[in-house]
Amino acid sequence: MLPRAAVYYFPWEINSSVPEGEALRTFGRLCYYNLARSEAILTAQHSSAQYQVCVDTKFVEPFQAQLGSFYMVLGEAEHREETSRPVVKARILTCMEGINVSLLEQAIQEQRKYFKERQE
């Protein structure tokens, strides 16, 4: 049996309530990358707050990290003791430089609305 499709989460929605092992997709600007630790941090602005998503890059290395570029990540949530927020274990990490973020957010909202209507 195939696993469920990954659910889109906005970076500001990723917190300790995301179930361990859940497949998810999210996005943000790459602001930090450490090859030795296989760790990257994506950031996103929402309202007046800055949000960060920690990404484990072990399974997507080597890749050409472009700091400041927009990335989308597909992976699983993993809870680690040293962080209060889940870490996304990346299976796919794609540079999406030039994407219209507001249109992406709108598309995610429309997809959620569609899935909700379909369940009713």
Cα distances (angstroms) measured from residue 116 to each of 9, 73, 98: 15, 24, 30
Contacts of 81 (CB under 8 A, 6+ apart): none
Least confident of 14-28, 48-62, 66-80: 14-28
Q: What share of the chain is helix, strand, coil (3-state, %, to 5)?
A: 20, 40, 40
pLDDT of residue 46: 86
**Domains, the chain, with CATH or none:** 7-118 (2.40.50.140)
Residue 44 — very low, low, confident or very high, per pLDDT cuts 50/70/90? very high
Percent pLDDT > 70 in the chain is 98
* Tokens read off for 6: 């990954």
Q: What is the pLDDT of residues 4-18, one digit of tens each?
A: 778 899 999 988 788
CA distance linking residue 39 with residue 47, whole number of Å: 26
Mean pLDDT of the chain: 89
